[in-house]
């Protein structure tokens, strides 16, 4: 199949979260299965500075209508491996910035223009470059209007650019909501600014474009696909989603074993496998040294995440005394909401030998936390899929996770099933989290149980080569 993917992030070119890991691994796996992949991404500064960009060729210059203006953009292409082409859509006014979405904790004021323009530029580039796809697959709100723009362009030019369009929701909490006045940048007829269009409570919603106008809607785990039809998890979109319920499918993400494999991971001080875990101890030591924590015979708990409410940091902050009282260690790697950054820094300052926080974006450090911790924490209040709980199982670091979203689909509770349990699932509530923490201490004191849980996790198969088969059949069934 000829498949066009587009998203605002793709590993290793630009990553702020799991979206990048997923688009990167999914496209790589699809191409290895023989499909021809094109990927459209904005020309962010990090991409313009990458070695790939120095090899990219200018393919076309576009003039894209945006409200009353026509704004120029350039499309560069660079081949990646045998069957992938990365198309970089460049307009420096919009994308040559150090951060993709905002500065500090504030979104850029022109995100409406930036991403409406990007969606238009993708389909215009496909048209001019004569890229005809079997499947056109967009991810998250930044590309939410592209399926609609694609059909509009096809109508206007009496052509076919894609047989079927797909839209993946990676996180419904980010919807691309803008004031109604931003609608003018779409240059769409007014009828699209209504309830069955992209209007959302007197605003416009870019994610609603994907939900209403793509042929098929995907999300990143079967459980999240069910949850988002309810008002508890639907973020106000449950109504729109239930209209499309028959076309909504959940496929749990996989993990990229070329990047996340303790046997070969070059970012670790020592490698290890389920047959010989000795390297894991070296990783633990290195982790404690790096963060400046003292050694202990109690467990080291690790967490790597955006510091946002979603990740359950309120629950974590209420349990800080657990770590201190029990002589455990806690390592937090993450950046985000200044409230959580300040609170965590205060704990680290008052207990410098037990609590370590690293407020940087550091790929190597994220691998070290996964490998060097004894347990991984993910008390999310919602989680579309989550990747770290899969990385941690792979790295022999049993996760303690809330029983929500994709965490429910990817972790087996050891308390319920010792034969195959890989971690602990709990309701995202203070008491339940506390009980799971206490239970983890008990398990840690029994070498045999701990090893069993570790090995159960390490032997699970989360590889993309399995997951990609589900994408393949969904794509072919749709044609
Ligand atoms: P989300 O996409 O909601 O942030 P996921 O669990 O799907 O959550 O993926 C998060 C990804 O971002 C993981 O690969 C994780 O290791 C990475 N990550 C998050 N914060 C950091 C950080 N400070 N440094 C390095 N990697 C990080
Ligand atoms: C989102 C979600 C996360 C998911 C990731 C990749 O950022 O918050 O749960 O794993 O996308 O699909």
Residues 224 and 131 in one domain: yes
Structure confidence at residue 104 as a pLDDT band (50, 70, 90): confident
Same domain, 240 and 218: yes
Using alpha carbons only, give the angle 207, 213, 217 rounded to the nearest 5 degrees.
70
Atom of ligand 1 nearest to the CA of 358: 23
Q: Is residue 151 part of a domain?
A: yes
How many CB atoms sit inside 10 A of residue 306's CB?
16
What is the span of the domain harbouring residue 145? 2-254+464-478
Distance from Cα 379 to the centre of ligand 1, integer Å: 14
Q: What residues line ligand 2, using a CB cutoff of 6 Å?
A: 17-19, 22, 170-171, 220, 253, 383-387
Does the CB atom of residue 150 touch ligand 1 within 6 A?
no
- Cα(305) to ligand 1 centroid in Å equals 5
User: pLDDT tens digit string along 438-449?
Assistant: 999 999 999 999
Cβ proximity of 371 and 397 under 8 Å = yes
Residue 259 domain flag:
no
Number of domains in the chain: 2
Of residues 131, 26, 46, 117, the one with CA closest to residue 87? 131
**Is position 214 within any domain?**
yes
Q: Which two tokens stand for residue 223?
A: 């459980």
Helices 278-291 and 363-372 cross at an angle (nearest 10°) of 120
Q: Whose CA is nearest to atom 20 of ligand 1?
A: 305
% residues pLDDT > 90 (the chain): 99
Q: Is the CB of 335 under 6 A from ligand 1?
A: yes
Residue 105: predicted pLDDT: 79
Average pLDDT, stretch 423-435? 98
Q: What band does 125 get if pLDDT is binned at 50, 70 and 90?
A: very high
356 and 418 together in one domain: yes
Nearest ligand to the CA of 15 is 1
Go through 358-371 and write b for each residue having 16 or more CB atoms within 10 A of its CB, e for each that does not.
bbeeeeebbbbbbb
Is the C-beta atom of 267 inside 6 A of ligand 1? no
Euclidean distance between CA atoms 394 and 386, whole angstroms: 14
What is the CATH number for 295? 3.40.50.2000
Tell whether 267 is covered by a domain: no
What's the pLDDT score for residue 124? 98
For residue 132, the model assigns a pLDDT of 97
Pair (448, 469) in one structural domain: no
Indicate if 235 and 364 belong to the same structural domain.
Answer: no
Q: So what's the pLDDT on residue 478?
A: 97
Residues 430 and 474 placed together within one structural domain of the fold: no
Same domain, 229 and 287: no
* Stretch 344-357: mean pLDDT: 98
- The verdict on residue 268 lying in a domain is no
21 lines ligand 1 (CB under 6 A): yes
């Amino acid at each position: 199949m000829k498949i066009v993917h587009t998203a605002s992030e793709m590993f290793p070119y630009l990553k702020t979260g799991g979206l990048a890991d997923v688009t990167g691994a999914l496209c790589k796996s699809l191409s290895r299965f023989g499909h021809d992949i094109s990927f459209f991404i904005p020309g962010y500064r990090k991409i313009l500075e990458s070695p790939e960009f120095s090899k990219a060729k200018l393919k076309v210059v576009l003039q894209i209508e945006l409200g009353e203006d026509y704004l120029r953009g350039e499309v560069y292409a660079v081949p990646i491996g045998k069957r992938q082409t990365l198309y970089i859509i460049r307009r420096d006014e919009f994308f040559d910035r150090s951060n993709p979405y905002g500065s500090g904790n504030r979104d850029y004021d022109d995100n409406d223009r930036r991403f409406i323009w990007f969606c238009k530029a993708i389909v215009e580039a496909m048209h001019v470059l004569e890229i005809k796809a079997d499947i056109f697959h967009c991810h998250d709100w930044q590309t939410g209007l592209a399926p609609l723009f694609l059909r509009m362009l096809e109508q206007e030019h009496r052509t076919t650019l894609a047989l079927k369009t797909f839209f993946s929701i990676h996180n419904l909490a980010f919807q691309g909501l803008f004031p109604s006045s931003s609608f003018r940048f779409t240059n769409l007829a007014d009828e699209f600014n209504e309830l069955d269009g992209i209007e959302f409570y007197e605003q416009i919603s870019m994610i609603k474009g994907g939900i209403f106008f793509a042929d098929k809607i995907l999300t990143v785990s079967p459980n999240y696909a069910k949850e988002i039809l309810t008002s508890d998890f639907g973020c106000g979109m449950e109504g729109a989603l239930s209209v499309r319920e028959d076309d909504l499918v959940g496929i749990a993400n996989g993990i990229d074993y070329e990047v996340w494999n303790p046997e070969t991971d070059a970012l670790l001080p020592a490698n290890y496998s389920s047959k010989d875990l000795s390297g894991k101890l070296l990783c633990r030591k290195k982790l404690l040294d790096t963060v400046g924590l003292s050694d202990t015979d109690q467990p080291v708990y690790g967490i790597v995440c955006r510091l946002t409410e979603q990740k359950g940091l309120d629950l974590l902050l209420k349990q800080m005394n657990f770590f201190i009282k029990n002589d455990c260690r806690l390592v937090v790697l993450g950046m985000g909401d200044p409230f959580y950054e300040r609170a965590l820094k205060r704990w680290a300052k008052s207990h410098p030998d037990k609590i370590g926080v690293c407020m940087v974006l550091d790929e190597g450090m994220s691998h070290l936390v996964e490998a060097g911790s004894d347990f991984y924490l993910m008390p999310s209040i919602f989680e579309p899929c989550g990747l770290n709980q899969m990385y941690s199982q792979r790295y022999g670091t049993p996760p303690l996770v809330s029983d929500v979203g994709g965490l429910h689909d990817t972790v087996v509770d050891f308390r319920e099933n010792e034969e195959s349990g890989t971690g602990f699932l709990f309701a995202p509530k203070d008491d339940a989290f506390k009980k799971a923490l206490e239970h983890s201490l008990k398990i840690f004191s029994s070498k045999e149980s701990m090893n069993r849980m570790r090995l159960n996790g390490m032997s699970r198969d989360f590889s993309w080569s399995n997951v990609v088969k589900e994408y393949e059949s969904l794509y072919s069934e749709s044609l």
